[in-house]
Amino acid sequence: MQDLVIELRYDGSHLYEQIYQHIREEIRTGRLLCGEKLPSTRYLAAYLQVSRATVELAYEQLLSEGYIESVPYKGYYVAQVEELYRIDGSKEKHKPESALRTNTCAFDFSPNAIDMRVFPFETWRKITKNTLSQDKSETFSLGEPKGDLALRETIARYLHASRGVNCSAEQIIVGAGNDYLLTLLGYILGRDSVIAFENPTYPRAWKILGLLAKKLLTVSADENGISVDELKKTDANAVYVMPSHQYPRGVVMPIGRRMELLNWASHATDRYIIEDDYDSEFRYRGKPIPSLQASDQTGKVVYIGTVSKSIAPAIRVSYMVLPKQLLRRYEENYSFFSSTVSRIDQTILNEFIRDGAFERHLNRMRKLYKEKHEVLLEQLKDFQKDFVLSGENAGLHILLTDRQGRSEEELIAAAAGAGVRVYGMKGALVQPLSLEQEKAWKATILLGFGGLTQEEIVKGISFLRKAWGI
């Protein structure tokens, strides 16, 4: 661990943004290397003579964008960021295609970033203090493999009230992030499982389940989601979907397609739907749509959700609801896996949800994101001659599909040249396109707005307007 010499400017700009920008620049230029430990928030706050909350806010933004990682009980470390282009002092080296991400990008429209500026630090700190002030030795013990019963009961009530999920606490497994739960699910489904995905889809889920399944395959999708007619022609016994807001295409699956999917699963004993309830909390048009699991009458849906996107990336708590048949399989064969979330974190989160702080925070975030969403759509009105806009009904990103025959690489490069980082949908492909598909593919750009202020959105879009000749 090394000290970070940061010259703070007291010119009215946010101190946490200065800290965030300094560390991000150090990582991008290779002065902070992968695996290098950062100072603790307490130490850096004392060293820079700022509040600890200021440093925490900077670290949370770096976490949300993937520049650093949090290791429980150890601290913060620089993440592996291989795709970043680093400037060599002597001469320019080869730029990888994805590395049209240079140090000059002032506006990052990441679809994965969230806004940490309104995180309820004081409430979280108070709950943490109260939890640690109680002399309960069981809080420091290993706990139940599925997670603490109190937290699972709270999650069950919350999911039923907010998402229509029908389950008992017994069916819920709490884990440190979706990666762990998907790995566990891969074991439960078994080595003979054949799992279908859309393409493009969430690449991490594809990679994780691909390590454990017999085979993965892709099925085409339309404006309503995955094609069930095509799914029926495969030998898949499980399918991974994101019906509330498919990543990256932004499709919200309508009730008719959901019923088709449930009907497909019900026609065989060992068929299951893996429902990743991605971005379900943020919907901007129409009434909230219940989860797919809420309509499941035959015990065919595995429901997976997380609090990381709605609270903070560092709060690595996700949950999986198993249908009873898979629950029995878990209890018979895999319940020896220890819980991956500390009981202290579980207790804090339980209090945060149970006392209403989570719902209050979520309502603030919904209002904040809705305002940003409206600003972004307003700024994009004059883009619609050159692009088709979609995915605007929910989530934290929208899509622009090119009408002019340009490639994603061209659009990303032009944006980077203007100091704006955008993302192509091809980055979410999990299998190569056929020649026919490649010819039909239209360049599509993902514009995330969660991590930017309204002012940054306006400025960033103005730069894109010039870069793309709008």
Domain limit, last residue, from 355, 389, 413: 355
Q: Residues 158, 285: one domain?
A: yes
Q: Residues 393, 311: one domain?
A: no
Q: Residues 21, 42: one domain?
A: yes
Q: Is residue 152 included in any domain, yes or no? A: yes
Residue 282: CATH number of its domain: 3.40.640.10
Q: Is residue 156 included in any domain, yes or no? A: yes
Q: Is residue 118 included in any domain, yes or no? A: no
pLDDT tens track for 396-432? 999 999 999 999 999 999 999 999 999 999 999 999 8
Between the two ends of the chain, the Cα-to-Cα distance in Å is 47
Q: Residues 399, 257: one domain?
A: no
Q: Is residue 98 included in any domain, yes or no? A: no
Question: What are the Cα distances from residue 443, in Å, to 188, 287, 409, 433?
Answer: 38, 31, 8, 13
Q: Which residues contact 414 (CB under 8 A, 6 or more apart)?
A: 467, 468
Q: How far apart are CA 235 and CA 194, in angstroms?
A: 7
Q: Is residue 38 included in any domain, yes or no? A: yes
- Count CB atoms within 10 A of the CB of residue 319: 27
Q: Is residue 114 included in any domain, yes or no? A: no
Q: How far apart are CA 468 and CA 250, in angstroms?
A: 23
Report residue 161 as tokens. 């009230």
Q: Residues 381, 318: one domain?
A: no
Q: Residues 381, 336: one domain?
A: no
Q: Within 13 Å of residue 232, how many CA atoms lie on the same side as its CB?
A: 10
Domain limit, last residue, from 39, 55, 82: 82
Residue 402: CATH number of its domain: 3.90.1150.10
Q: What is the pTM of this model?
A: 0.77
Q: Given this model, what pLDDT does residue 1 score?
A: 60
Q: Is residue 144 included in any domain, yes or no? A: yes
Q: Residues 228, 270: one domain?
A: yes
Q: Residues 151, 291: one domain?
A: yes
Q: Residues 170, 295: one domain?
A: yes
Q: Is residue 112 included in any domain, yes or no? A: no
Q: Which residues contact 349 (CB under 8 A, 6 or more apart)?
A: 151, 307, 315, 317
Q: How far apart are CA 83 and CA 67, in angstroms?
A: 11
Question: What is the number of helices (H) and of strands (E) in the chain?
Answer: 15, 17
Domain range for 371: 359-467
Q: How far apart are CA 140 and CA 64, in angstroms?
A: 28
Residues of the chain with pLDDT under 70: 1-3, 81-104, 137, 286
Q: Given this model, what pLDDT does residue 89 score?
A: 37
* Count of structural domains within the chain: 3
Residue 55: CATH number of its domain: 1.10.10.10
Q: Residues 277, 394: one domain?
A: no
Domain limit, last residue, from 355, 376, 405: 355
Report residue 96 as tokens. 């990888």
Q: Residues 396, 302: one domain?
A: no
Q: Given this model, what pLDDT does residue 2 score?
A: 63
pLDDT tens track for 81-140? 644 444 333 333 333 333 334 345 789 999 988 898 888 989 999 999 988 887 776 777
Q: Residues 198, 179: one domain?
A: yes
Closest CA to 445 of 62, 96, 220, 110: 110
Q: How would you classify the pairing of strands 301-306 and 318-321?
A: antiparallel
